[in-house]
Amino acid sequence: MSDISTLLAETCTRLFTDLVTADSLRAAEAGEWPGDLWPALEENGLTRPLVPEAQGGVGLTWQDTFPILFAAGYHAAPVPLAETIVAGWQLAEAGMAVPDGAITLADDQTSLDLAGSDSAWHVSGRLEQVPWAGSADHILAIAKNDDQRKLVLLERDRISVESDTNIGRDPRGAISVSDASPAAVADLPNGFMPAPMLLFAALARSAQMAGAIAGVLDLCVEYAGDREQFGRPLAKFQAIQHQLAILATEAAAAQTAAQYACRAVDVTPRASLAIQEIATAKIRTGEAAGKAAAIGHQVHGAIGFTEEYRLHYLTRRLWSWRSEFGAELLWAAHLGAVITAGGADELWPHITSLPKE
- Domains of the chain in sequence order: 3-93 (1.10.540.10), 103-187 (2.40.110.10), 196-353 (1.20.140.10)
Nearest to 151 by CA among 112, 103, 206, 203: 112
Give the confidence band of 78 by pLDDT, cuts at 50, 70, 90.
very high
Mean pLDDT of 344-354: 78
pLDDT of residue 356: 58
pLDDT-based confidence at residue 346 (cuts at 50, 70, 90): confident
* pLDDT at res. 353: 72
Mean pLDDT of 217-232: 91
Most confident of 2-11, 44-53, 220-229: 44-53
pLDDT value of residue 89: 95
Count other Cβ atoms within 10 Å, centred on residue 230: 7
Of 249 and 226, the structure prediction assigns the larger pLDDT to 249
274-315 pLDDT, tens per residue? 899 999 999 999 999 999 999 999 999 989 888 889 999 999
Query: Given a cut of 90, is residue 342 above it in pLDDT?
Result: no
Per-residue pLDDT at 190 = 67
**Identity of the amino acid at 59:** G
**Residue 136 phi, psi dihedral angles, 5° rounding:** -70, 150
What pLDDT is attached to residue 193?
66
Distances (CA, A) of 119 to 12, 116, 122, 184, 299: 42, 8, 10, 11, 60
CA-CA distance, 102 to 100, in Å (whole number)? 7
Residue type (1 letter), 294: A
Query: Does 357 score more than 60 pLDDT?
Result: no
Mean per-residue pLDDT, 184-193: 79
How confident is the model at residue 62, as a pLDDT?
A: 97
Give the residue among 74, 1, 81 at the shortest CA–CA distance from 251: 74
Residue 163 to residues 134, 169, 205, 270, 316: CA-CA distances in angstroms? 7, 11, 21, 36, 19
Listed residue (43, 99, 41) closest to 72, CA to CA = 41
Of 153-162, 203-212, 236-245, 335-344, the one with minimum mean pLDDT is 335-344
Among residues of the chain, what percentage have pLDDT more than 90?
76
pLDDT of residue 194: 58
Residue 79 CB: number of other CB atoms within 10 A?
A: 22
Amino acid at 245: A
Contacts of 223 (CB under 8 A, 6+ apart): 234, 299, 300, 303
